[in-house]
Amino acid sequence: MSEMKRSAHVILTSHSQHVFKDSLPIHWGAKNPLERGPIIGSLTDTKKRNAIGTHSGSYAVYRALSIAQGKYSTRHRPDLNNTESPVKIGPFASWHDPDKMVSIDPWGLDVPIHFKKFYDEGYDVRPTIAVTQAHLQIPEIHDAIDAGRLQVDGKIIKENRDIRVTKVAFEPVWYLPGIAKRLNVDEGELRKILFQETGGMFPELVTRPDIKVMLPPIGSTTVYIFGDVQNLSKPEVELTCRVHDECNGSDVFGSDICTCRPYLIYGIEDAARTAQRGGVGLIAYYRKEGRALGEVTKFLVYNARKRQKGGDSAATYFHRTECVAGVEDARFQELMPDILHFFGITKIHNLHSMSNMKYDAIVKSGIEVVNRISIPEDLIPADAQVEIEAKKAAGYFNPGEKKDADQLEKVKGRPIDE
């Protein structure tokens, strides 16, 4: 059991005497990994840490529970043999630009290779990016094949109708000065508010201004690539892309109150079709459930919308969200393009998104967008007409006709008891 536990003595990381010489400096935006330095968020040797927080995002809490039960050794160091990426990615010029990526660590990929020197010196460097390959089995893709919109080619779409993809998982790594700059706020103010709004979870935010990197306890991001990964960085190769924010109810379970799954599947179909004609497709899936307000808040909003006087209406769609949550949308898409810059993307030929927040963030980050593609009308569920008409009226990208105030009042959703 002694292998499972650390000392019972609690040491506050805010103590000034706990600045250790073995804690490596981080030079964000340096030209190579050794000059930049590894991110050490592991806990096997706290004297070597140079980041606030720890690995695995929100799953760090579950690791703590396993340790509390004596089922997980605090001295465990992962055996990373044979875990390297099956495809080569980067480095790109964006990896050397301190402003292009501030919410992920590009050198978090294949850390045993990039930081072998430090591994040999005993540093417990952990990956924050992992790449693998897989097949997707999606019923709607079978329908697209039957309808002739997609073809079985044996390469992108296999003979059994699986789609062959490359998957990339990202844990968040925040460079706090860059985050503050991106959001146009003072770094000190950002650190103070992060400390306050997490219930004082990370005292180093206010007591250790010398630590510039944070591993926040939030969800990760997954990217699915259709076709040759190397083509993502080639502006002459057609790229179809959807940047999608998580919606568990629709994406997984098919809830019809929103357009999330239909739009996601439409993006996947078009990404595969683009790859089949020699281009490349990319779906980025961000864990920002309920516009980053959470699923509990989202369900409360659903109830408020459907119980209000006059029923669920496109005219009050955004207002009811703000009444419950205090804000219409907490996603603030300024950090979203970092994932795209990891792949060296400079041009998107077909962007599947109606969101002006997403489009503006991508373009502002220096990526050219040629075409914007909205969800086809025939894919919109009946109960999601409230959402789609409200978004169109609010200025979301859509070539269709926008309804006036009187018309919006007439767009109604299903009653709560049906």
Per-residue pLDDT band for 1 (boundaries 50, 70, 90) equals very low
Q: Which of 291, 305, 331, 372 is catalytic?
A: 331
Q: What residues contact residue 185 under an 8 Å CB cut-off, 6+ apart?
A: none
Range scoring the smallest mean pLDDT among 21-25, 46-50, 333-337: 21-25
C-alpha R_g of the chain = 23
Per-residue pLDDT band for 324 (boundaries 50, 70, 90) equals confident
Q: How far is CA 365 from the centre of its chain?
A: 16
Per-residue pLDDT band for 2 (boundaries 50, 70, 90) equals very low
> What's the distance, Cα to Cα, between the start and end of the chain in Å?
55
417 is catalytic: no
Cα angle: 196, vertex 26, 337; to 5 degrees: 70
Per-residue pLDDT band for 358 (boundaries 50, 70, 90) equals very high
Q: Mean pLDDT throughout 325-344?
A: 90
Q: What is the pLDDT of residues 258-286, one digit of tens each?
A: 999 999 999 999 999 999 999 999 999 99
Closest CA to 191 of 213, 217, 219: 213
Q: 3-state SS of the chain?
A: CHHHCCCCCCCCCCCHHHCCCCCCCCCCCCCCHHHHCCCCCCCCCHHHCCCEECCCHHHHHHHHHHHHCCCCCCCCCCCCCCCCCCCCCCCCHHHHCCCCCCCCCHHHECHHHHCHHHHHCCCCCCCCEEEEEEEECCHHHHHHHHCCCCCCCCCCECCCCCEEEEEEEECCCEEHHHHHHHHCCCHHHHHHHHHHHCCCCCCHHHHCCCCCEEECCCCCEEEEEECCHHHHHCCCCCEEEEEEECCHHHHCCCCCCCCHHHHHHHHHHHHHHHHHCCCEEEEEEECCHHHHCCHHHHHHHHHHHHHCCCCCEHHHHHHHHHHHHCCCCCCCHHHCCHHHHHCCCCEEEEEECCCHHHHHHHHHCCCEEEEEECCCHHHCCHHHHHHHHHHHHCCCCCCCCCCCHHHHHHCECCCCCC
What is the per-residue pLDDT for 188?
96
Q: What residues contact residue 78 under an 8 Å CB cut-off, 6+ apart?
A: 126
Q: Which of 124, 251, 329, 338 is catalytic?
A: 329
Per-residue pLDDT band for 20 (boundaries 50, 70, 90) equals low
The Cα 324–Cα 287 span in angstroms is 21
* Stated pTM of the model: 0.93
Q: Are strands 213-215 and 174-175 parallel, antiparallel or unpaired?
A: antiparallel
Number of Cβ within 10 Å of residue 210's Cβ equals 10
The Cα 202–Cα 200 span in angstroms is 6
Q: What is the pLDDT of residues 102-149, one digit of tens each?
A: 999 999 999 999 999 998 999 999 999 999 999 999 999 999 999 999
257 has a pLDDT exceeding 60: yes
404 is catalytic: no
What is the per-residue pLDDT for 400?
81
The Cα 58–Cα 288 span in angstroms is 13
Q: Mean pLDDT throughout 222-251?
A: 97
* Residue 314, both tokens: 């496109």
Cα angle: 340, vertex 344, 347; to 5 degrees: 75
